[in-house]
């Protein structure tokens, strides 16, 4: 429901489902009792870890991000 692309392509769910979600009816009756704080913090921690890990790894292997905008890189890795 919170997908930004649906502003262009339209929602990928029925209006009835949206109203049941807002009213917590049908198969959405337990949606407001779900605790998402701990799983959300774990996911956020994983993202932060992977960003730091990728940054450290790029420094260890001396990867220069400007390499990907050179004509040689574009010619060597272009798709047919």
| 3-state DSSP assignment of residue 54 | helix
Domain count, the chain: 2
pLDDT tens-digit map of 6-47: 667 666 778 888 889 889 999 888 888 888 899 999 999 999
Can you give the residue range of the structural domain that contains 71?
35-80
Helices assigned H by DSSP within the chain: 6-9, 15-23, 37-60, 71-76
Whether residue 22 is found in the same domain as residue 50:
no
Whether residue 65 is found in the same domain as residue 52:
yes
Model-wide pTM > 0.85 = no
Whether residue 25 is found in the same domain as residue 40:
no
Whether residue 40 is found in the same domain as residue 70:
yes
Q: Rounded to whole angstroms, how far apart are CA atoms 13 and 21?
A: 11
Whether residue 46 is found in the same domain as residue 80:
yes
Whether residue 49 is found in the same domain as residue 14:
no
pLDDT tens-digit map of 46-58: 999 999 998 888 8
Phi, psi of 10 (to 5 degrees): 95, 160
């Amino acid at each position: 429901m919170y997908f930004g692309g649906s502003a262009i392509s339209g929602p990928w769910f029925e209006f009835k489902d949206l109203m049941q979600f807002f009213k917590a009816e049908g198969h959405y009756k337990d949606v407001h009792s779900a605790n998402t704080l701990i799983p959300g913090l774990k996911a956020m921690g994983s993202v932060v870890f992977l960003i730091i890990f990728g940054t450290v790894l790029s420094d260890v292997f001396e990867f220069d991000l400007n390499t990907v905008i050179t004509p040689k890189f574009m010619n060597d890795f272009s798709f047919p």
